[in-house]
Amino acid sequence: MENFYAMLKATNISKSYGNSHALKDLNLTVQSGEIYSLLGANGAGKSTTINMFLGFTEPDSGTVTIAEKDATKQAAETRKFIGYIPENVNLYPYLSGIENLDYFCRLAGLKYSTGELQDFLTTCGLQSEAHKKKVSGYSKGMRQKVGIAIAYAKKAKVYLLDEPASGLDPLASNELSELLRKLAKEGASILMATHDIFRAREVCDRIGILKQGNLVKELKSEEVTANELEQLYLEYMKN
């Protein structure tokens, strides 16, 4: 019953800016519990796809739905499902991690006890010594964990991540992969845009290669090794 509809669904979406196609007849689904990665060169349309699910960008044609609700026309409703993690998570530097989490939860109308807030941060991988330290001293990976904790506390069913691994050291990147797997195991649908072929292969269930607004290839991660995926990606980029 849980998977009877695709949590995220883009149907024949196209978007142009002037004469250039940002997306052309894109069809994409992400089920509950699934991690899907969009790979593609700069300007391929990855962020445009994510922005459509966020309801920030309206398609010229086609439909974008989250839990069968239109992400453009019912954006106020669909955004309730979403946790959005941009490349750089913006937090208040002079507040601690737990104060930031509390602040953003209250903005969303949620009031949690200190213990609950700590549990969210711990679940999202932020070590307890850091909870009460100012965010100005946090690494990029630590800020990202707070960003994910904000989405987690909001009980997001969908996580949209735009180049989340960019600029993370290998350990932080590995922790992010593990956290995403944990969220998917709990039933979240995860769509991420990335340039990191190795991580995409490692953490995602399915991968889509976008080229100039066209989804030229979709595959299951288990079907390829990281090297094979890289070769495939390079072939699509060259041709």
Residues near ligand ATP, by CB under 6 A: 17, 20, 22, 40, 42-48, 193
Instruction: DSSP for 68-101, please give it.
Output: TEETTTTHHHHGGGEEEE-SS----TTSBHHHHH
- Which CB, 25 or 119, lies closer to ligand ATP? 25
* Secondary structure of residue 221 in the 3-state scheme: helix
**27: which 2 tokens?**
């069809």
Q: How far is the CB of 106 from ligand ATP (least distance, A)?
A: 32
Side-chain half-sphere of 193: how many Cα atoms within 13 Å? 21
Residue number, 44 or 98, with CB nearest to ligand ATP: 44
Find the shortest distance in angstroms from Cβ 43 to ligand ATP. Answer: 4
| Closer of 117 and 210 to ligand ATP (Cβ) | 210
Question: Please, which residue, 45 or 141, has the CB nearer to ligand ATP?
Answer: 45
The least distance separating ligand ATP from the CB of residue 16, rounded to whole angstroms, comes to: 9
CB of 48 to ligand ATP, least distance (A): 3
